[in-house]
Amino acid sequence: MPEESSNYQTIWNECLKIIQSNLSQEHFETWFQPVVPVSLKKQELTIQVPSMFYYEFIEKNFWKVLKTAVRHVMGPDGKLAYSVVMQDGKYGKDKKTLTLPHSSTEAGSNQPAMPPLSKSVNDDPHGREIVNPFVIPGLKSININSQLNSQLNFDNFIEGECNRLARAAGFAVAKNPGKTSFNPLFIHSEVGLGKTHLAHAIGLEIKANFPEKTVLYVDAETFLQQYLEAVKSQTINDFIHFYQMLDVLIIDDVQFLAKKEKTQEIFFHIFNFFQRENRQMVITSDKSPSSLAGFEQRLLSRFKWGLSADLQIPDKETRVRIIKSKLANSGITDIDEEVVDYLAYRIVTNVREIEGALISILAQSSLNRKTITVELAKQMIDKFVQNTIHEISIDYIQKVVCDYFNIPVYQMLSKSRKGEIVQVRHLSMYFAKKYTNLSLAQIGARSGDKDHATVLHACRAVENQQATNPKYAADLNNIDKILKNA
């Protein structure tokens, strides 16, 4: 290797080329352009990151690409250390060396590694040697890596009306796996609403309550690839036997098995075995069993044997609690309530979008030493959601209309008959009818417990005022522009 003291910049530049080729441009610019190399000693490259938040985020989410880059440029003995800039501008005294374990699960990665079907073997109770897709040669089944992400647990799964049934059912299953009426537990929702989080949480709770049980989380695509590999290697029976050794099987995104007839056949036999042996199965999907297409009817009917529970888009109250929880986990506990309210009203589509927006805001705040304000949040949110389709909820409409007239939302939802309150209530109902798919009865219920006739009257009143009152029409147009730009 060239003289270390003068080449750390060159080595880091080479690492950056590899990192950039494996990340999106936005991720690369946000997380790696602010990083600078500071030294190279005994094949240990030290890089300076702007804050502890940067260090933790890079370690958690980009550990694998960092390992690949460092080893490629510096060889198998290459090491990496961090120098964290503290609040007073000095380097932190503690440097944490990036270790490179050889386990099947990459330390620090956001999701557990999912290895393909391997040739490793386990001893079956009947004396057979069977292929085990998840452990290295020589390990017994009790040592199967459950592939669970320890950070996706019940403690940080925020409960609300949108997920209460599914969470309660999942917790019940974790307390008594295979012995409740919730078998299988079929969890379904649209993308980003927490079904994978809940699936991991159930698995982790079962492991905590029953350490002797063998639990496995696997996504449907990995299951499919393992099956195809088993076909090629003529080890189908071993593949089935391996899954029959499990006490709890959590299979995520089962919709990816649609139209895979052979794989469904194998899964059907595994499912039946779990039912006969009273072993627990947890299944997630983006659709309910009755809405899934491309599946054999006999398999769909079995999906309905237990409990089918859905996760809905979180309401405003739940979004506020989610945001506060995410901020607290990042060490921020004193954020202005106005900022939290803005985020809760602005991002309504799903939990994943909330998480992504918060990460962008925290990164910007940490890098530039800025306090998180509504203005900073607005700048980042506008950038974050500019290329996404933003759903306009009734909560957001009510917030926009009330803010426009400087009236608190709770007053609009009250029984007050004051003219300015009635006007805001009418406008909120009008825009809710225009921009949401809610029925008149649903809009009324969410607007101070009014009936559908009141909503219909409000919409007509708005249209009449628009036609006869120029000032009113201008206000209506301004609010409409705000909502269209949401």
Residue 330 lies in a domain: yes
Produce one character per residue of 50-81: b if its CB has 16 or more CB atoms within 10 Å, e if not: bbbbbbbbbbebbbebbbebbbebbeeebbbe
Query: Is residue 396 domain-resident?
Result: no
Q: Is the dihedral of CA 244, 245, 247, 249 positive or negative?
A: negative
Q: Give yes or no for a contact between 345 and 395, defined as CB atoms under 8 angstroms apart.
A: yes
Residues 281, 331 within the same domain: no
222-234 average pLDDT score: 89
Of 55 and 121, the one with more pLDDT: 55
Among 288, 310, 332, the domain-final residue is 310
In a domain, 398, yes or no: no
**Locus of tokens 């073997």:** 121
> For residue 88, what are the contacts with CB-CB under 8 A and spacing of at least 6?
none
In a domain, residue 109? The reply is no
Q: Regarding predicted confidence, which is higher, 18 or 383? A: 18
CATH number, position 60: 3.30.300.180
Residue with tokens 């917030």: 399
DSSP-assigned states of every residue in 111-143: S---PPP-S-EEE-TTS-EEE-TTS-TT--GGG
Statement to judge: residues 132 and 256 lie in one domain: yes
CA distance 281 to 275: 9
Write out pLDDT tens, residues 296-333: 999 999 999 999 999 987 877 888 888 888 777 777 76
Based on the fold, state whether residues 147 and 242 are members of the same structural domain.
yes
> In this structure, what DSSP letter does residue 183 have?
S
Query: How many structural domains is the chain composed of?
Result: 4
- One domain for residues 268 and 152: yes
pLDDT band at 143 (very low <50, low <70, confident <90, very high): low
Assign 450 a pLDDT band (cuts: 50, 70, 90): very high
Residue that terminates a domain, selected from 67, 98, 129: 98
Q: Which residue segment(s) compose the domain that 227 sits in?
A: 121-310
In this structure, the answer to whether residues 214 and 273 fall within a common structural domain is yes
| 145/239 same-domain check | yes
47 plus 86 within the same structural domain = yes
Query: What is the CATH classification number for the domain harbouring 332?
Result: 1.10.8.60
Mean pLDDT, the chain, integer: 80
pLDDT given for residue 391 in this prediction: 58
Going by pLDDT thresholds of 50, 70 and 90, the confidence category of residue 170 is: very high
Q: At what angle do helices 52-61 and 351-368 cross, to 10 degrees?
A: 140
Looking at residue 349, what is its pLDDT?
A: 64
Amino acid 3: pLDDT: 44
Indicate the residue type of 161.
E
pLDDT at 134: 53
Output the pLDDT for position 329: 74
Burial of 176: CB neighbours in 10 Å, binned 0-12, 13-18, 19+:
middle
Kindly state whether residues 174 and 197 are assigned to the same domain.
Answer: yes
pLDDT at residue 187 tops 90: yes
The percentage of the chain sitting over the pLDDT mark of 90, rounded to a whole number, equals 38
**For residue 440, what is the domain's CATH number?**
1.10.1750.10
Interval 408-416 mean pLDDT: 88
Question: Which residue would you say has higher pLDDT here, 83 or 186?
Answer: 186
90 and 39 both lie in a single domain? yes
Question: DSSP state, 386?
Answer: T
pLDDT at 423: 95
* CB-CB contact of 249 with 146 (8 Å): no
User: Domain for residue 83, yes or no?
Assistant: yes
Are residues 260 and 161 part of one domain? yes
What pLDDT score does 121 carry? 39
Instruction: Copy the structure tokens of residue 154.
Output: 């019940």
- The residue among 25, 8, 225, 267 whose CA lies nearest residue 133 is 225
For range 229-252, the mean pLDDT: 89
**Domain membership flag for residue 400:** no
Q: Residue 264: name the closest of 209, 302, 229, 235 by CA.
A: 302
User: Is the pLDDT reported for residue 432 higher than 90?
Assistant: yes
pLDDT at residue 97 in the model: 43
Q: CA 485 from chain center: how many Å?
A: 26
When pLDDT is cut at 50, 70 and 90, the band that residue 393 belongs to is: confident
Asked whether residue 199 falls in the same domain as residue 147, the answer is yes
User: Among 310, 332, 366, where does a domain finish?
Assistant: 310
- pLDDT one-digit tens code per residue, 144-154: 788 899 989 99
Looking at the structure, do residues 321 and 305 belong to the same domain, yes or no?
A: no
Residue 464 inside a domain? The answer is: yes
Confirm whether 275 is domain-assigned: yes
